Chains A and B, each alone.
Chain A
Amino acid sequence: MATTGLGFALFGPRGERDTLASKGRLVLDYWEKWTGHEGAAMQRVVDAFNASQDRLYVRYLVTSAIHQKAMISILGGSPPDIVGLYAFNVPSYAESNAVLPLDELAARAGLRIDQYAMGMRPVMQHGGRWVATINTGGALALYWNRALFREQAEALKARGIDPERAPRTIAELDLASEVLSRTTDGSALGKGPLARAGFLHMEPGWWSWIWGYHFGGTLYDAASDRAGAGGPEVVRAFEWLQSYPQRLGIDHVEKFRSGFGPYGTPQSAFLTGEVAMVVQGPWMANLIQAFKPDLDYGVAPFPVDTPLYDPDNPMTCIDTDVLMIPRGAKNPEASMEFIAFTQRQENVEALATAHCKGSPMVEVSEQFLSKHPNRGVRLHTALASSKRAYVAPATPVWTEYKDIFDTTMQDLWKLAEPAATRLPVVQARAQKLLDDAAELRRRRGEA
């Protein structure tokens, strides 16, 4: 075993740091999650950087399950020079010292936090320090199938819903969903197999925790370090969520859902018309463009509970991709130089256009908005600056808290338990996580 280990250390594979293209330059490894069309767009930005100067050479390396592998590489002392992660990773990475603070590096590279849209700024900072820049901005919205709304125009009008616009409140969403839902045999909803659903919280179901915010609740109060999962607004939101499988019949819904193709394929439910409205980010337009360019869709703020409706301040969850410099990166200044290049308006807008996303910056060119392939780009860009934009709770235990929520949402969706009894339990578990983390910080002298 020792001989094998020694042999591997002496003669084993080596990282290829010096290729023909990079000859004589400092090579920077950039780990990113994007493949396919999105990866190719980022590769173009990387190529532009490599062509813009002759000192640095960035290698774009696609990494699956990047938020876990990046952490392992940092823990192992062999991190990439730049890593592209998700917004929800920022608190845990920052709290565990896995990334470098950018305050001084960014300032030297000419970046300022006020260049970014209001809603993006909380994602970029943790504990009062700047730790991440925004790679591409994402603000969640309601994607709705205009064609299906028109097809059911009379029925929608009969229920007081304007078929030419998206629902604005939860009550309108419920009515529209009911009108648009269909069973295969024409029986009443809940009595037969589903052929189409107006709206399903579980499609795609990636954001188990957002619903409470649209009823005025919150999951975490940073000032008091208290969890809010059991708050009355959150409970009401999940009771609303449970009303869908109750009305449609949980067995019918689950069987219906099991036939949806995965996201990223032409068989995904919104593209096939099996679900008429979904909560999604701007990347949805990319999928539509690739697989169903003739789909007539609209983009609107995700509805809120009626008393919360405010057309000037729509509510949205900010879910972005971020760039960070891992602790242990050998040349942080060089890494920052590349990051700063990606943050130039022309590069941000080129990447955002290719990804069908909005811009995370305050300054947005009219050309970007007018030629953008996502018909909802103006909305997505406006949402990023909304006063009521919210981000994942900025606590280092969020990953675990969210995992609890993910499991809870699935159980509540399957009507395993009433929301009113389950969510206080979730709150207690989440609070214990927060208290334990606080106690550990105290023991470490970090409190």
Chain B
Amino acid sequence: MTALDRIAHAGRWRRLPLAEKALLALGLLALALILPPWPGAVLVLAAAALAALAGARVPPGAWLGAFAAPAAFIATGALALVVTWGEDGLALVAEPLVAVRPALRALAATAALLLLALTTPAPVLVKALRLPPELADLALALYRFLFGLLDTLRAMQAAQQARLGGAGSIRSAGLLAAALLPRALERARRLEIGLAARLHTGTLDTLAAEPAPSPRRLAAIAILLAAVAGGAAWLQ
């Protein structure tokens, strides 16, 4: 499992109705995009981080760990915005602050995405998309195969390194990928045979019903979102 997935499955907000978590996280995500980055994005970032840390009680270390990787990518992306292709190669732009706005917006949006990802397991979200049953099955099968394959890949990498395999060479990586794909397909085939042997014809859906959202909490979330938007307008 990935760190995000583990927290989402075991977290305090796991059993809360999806509509409440989605309204909060996607509402903050929309605000991050719509509000002016200063002070809007800063308020959204604070609200999303607070909801995850204080509300859902995500361990601070885990939240920072999950936030660090995308933040590093955003920083690299922002660096690309402060340089320009001048007459003598790359040069700094006249106004380096132009990069701060998209970076702030992206950081706030990432915090909102994390709020959803850390409180709601991905299959719950896939189910809420109401895809055609064939595609929903496909997405759920993909999700279920992920973790087994990741473990297999790690074991194969360890085995390759233990045999002094050229870790990092294209040939080694290619052999790993080539060994993994037949294993993945074979696992799928065995599972299919197993299902067929049990005369399975239905869907792979195994999720329990989601609890109904509470109108009071939905209203409270809407008020919170309005407060963030109002606070941003006021501070500006």
Whether A associates with B in a native complex is no
Residues of chain A at the chain B interface (Cβ within 8 Å):
none
